[in-house]
């Protein structure tokens, strides 16, 4: 009976934490939480995924002049570390994918922008394309989102949304560029 009660309390704890957003002073105490919450952008009460993606734009802008191999290296490392970062934040909050965890949006946007043409039009176009794929989650993004759990589950749907958006940006650049 004790284990049944603990399981019940654990379920209630997860449900409670899925709606509770930590404070900035809480996330700065942990590097994984600081990254997972996009340096505070995930604390937004309004559309934290969109705000998180918006917060990824200045980082992209700083990396946009990197040679392609270096940009790809940063995105690869951010993706791999993102699995651990998102898992650590989920574990700390006892919830699978808190809306404030936005590191996956950072990585997804950066994937979208691989080899994108320079200029504000492309930055905004990539932002819009990534948000569309991330929000609508067409198949197989939605399938992965439902079936893969943990840090990988948090990251994988945004990685795939970034790949889809990358394809649209590249096709548009070939057509309009």
The predicted structure's pLDDT at residue 58: 98
Q: What is the mean pLDDT of each successive set of 10 residues along the chain, which is 177 residues long?
A: 34 44 85 95 94 98 97 98 96 89 98 97 98 96 93 96 98 91
Task: Give dist(CA 153, CA 139) in Å, integer.
Answer: 15
Return all residues near 158 (Cβ < 8 A) that are at least 6 apart: 104, 105, 107, 108, 134
SS (H, E, C) the chain: CHHHHHHHHHHHHHHHHCCCCCCHHHHCCCHHHHHHCHHHHHHCCCCHHHHHHHHHHHHHHHHCCCCHHHHHHHHHHHHHHHHHHHHHHHHHHCCCCCCCCCHHHHHHHHHHCCCCCCCHHHHHHHHHHHHHHHHHCCCCHHHHHHHCCHHHHHHHHHHHHHHHHHHHHHHHHHHHC
pLDDT at position 96, please? 83
Dump pLDDT digits (tens) for 89-98: 999 988 888 9
- Residue 20 has what pLDDT? 72
pLDDT digits (tens, 9 = 90+) for 114-144: 999 999 999 999 999 999 999 999 999 999 9
């Amino acid at each position: 009976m004790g284990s049944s009660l603990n399981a019940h309390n654990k379920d209630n704890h997860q449900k409670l934490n899925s709606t509770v957003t930590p404070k900035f002073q809480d996330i700065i105490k942990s590097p994984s939480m600081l990254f997972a919450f996009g340096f505070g952008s995930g604390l937004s009460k309004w559309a934290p995924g969109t705000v998180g993606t918006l917060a990824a734009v200045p980082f992209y802008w700083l990396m946009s002049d990197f040679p392609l191999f270096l940009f790809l290296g940063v995105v690869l490392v951010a993706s791999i570390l993102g699995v651990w970062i998102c898992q650590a934040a989920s574990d700390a909050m006892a919830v699978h994918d808190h809306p404030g965890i936005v590191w996956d949006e950072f990585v997804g946007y950066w994937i979208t922008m691989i080899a994108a043409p320079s200029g504000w039009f492309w930055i905004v176009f990539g932002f819009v394309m990534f948000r569309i794929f991330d929000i609508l989650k067409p198949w197989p993004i939605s399938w992965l989102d439902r079936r893969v759990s943990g840090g990988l589950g948090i990251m994988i749907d945004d990685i795939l949304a970034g790949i889809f958006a990358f394809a649209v940006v590249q096709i548009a650049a070939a057509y309009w560029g």
